[in-house]
A and B are shown apart, each in its own frame.
Chain A
Amino acid sequence: GAVVSQHPSWVICKSGTSVKIECRSLDFQATTMFWYRQFPKQSLMLMATSNEGSKATYEQGVEKDKFLINHASLTLSTLTVTSAHPEDSSFYICSARDRVSYEQYFGPGTRLTVT
């Protein structure tokens, strides 16, 4: 149990384009999902907290107009990187909090490369 999927697992896009990443909790419901970014050899950096049916809460320094988050259902949250630039190249990881156990489970991550 407690499986979180992400799609795509990797993506290469051109500078200036937008990329959407999906995060799904497959066998549990998640009222809250979290989006992280991780650069090589660095720890996880929380970008935003996504609550089902409401606006996401962004961490300080994260541009909400650049990283659009939608949490339309109890099993799906999406992150859209708009007008991507090479410095946005990173490993993006979502986690979902089980609404019953409150434990958080991570998706496998999406590796984004912007050329």
Chain B
Amino acid sequence: QKEVEQNSGPLSVPEGAIASLNCTYSDRGSQSFFWYRQYSGKSPELIMSIYSNGDKEDGRFTAQLNKASQYVSLLIRDSQPSDSATYLCAVKGVGSWGKLQFGAGTQVVVTP
């Protein structure tokens, strides 16, 4: 079983709609969760971090965390063509000295 799982996509989203990305993780003791955006040929860029159960909003992005279900999600509202990228879910486990476990990423394609 992979430690961090994401649907690979591609997730096709009409411009202006909401993109919903999901991520599950296996380490129940994980405390820190991150979403990165990676454009093709570029390195990942941190867009959201979340540490507590519930929702965290930052502009058009909302991260949701449910530790009981071992589930973290990312919503992108009012999707724009510039949001087309691969979104990586990353989880920091207990005692991992900061090592992040990455999911394989979900490719999002926003269509005009």
Which A residues are closer than 8 A to B by beta carbons? 2, 32, 34, 43-44, 46, 49, 57, 91, 93, 97, 102-109
Contact = CB atoms under 8 A, between A and B. Distances in A.
Interface size for chain B: under 10, 10 to 19, 20 to 34, or 35 or more residues? 10 to 19
Interface of B: 32, 34, 36, 41-46, 49, 88, 97-100, 102-105
B44 A32 contact: no
B48 to A, nearest CB: 11
A59 B45 CA distance: 23
A40 B62 CA distance: 29
Contacts of A57: 97
19 contacts: A32-B97, A32-B98, A34-B100, A43-B103, A43-B104, A46-B99, A46-B100, A49-B97, A91-B43, A93-B43, A102-B98, A103-B49, A104-B46, A104-B98, A106-B36, A106-B45, A107-B43, A108-B43, A109-B42
Contacts of B44: 44, 93, 106
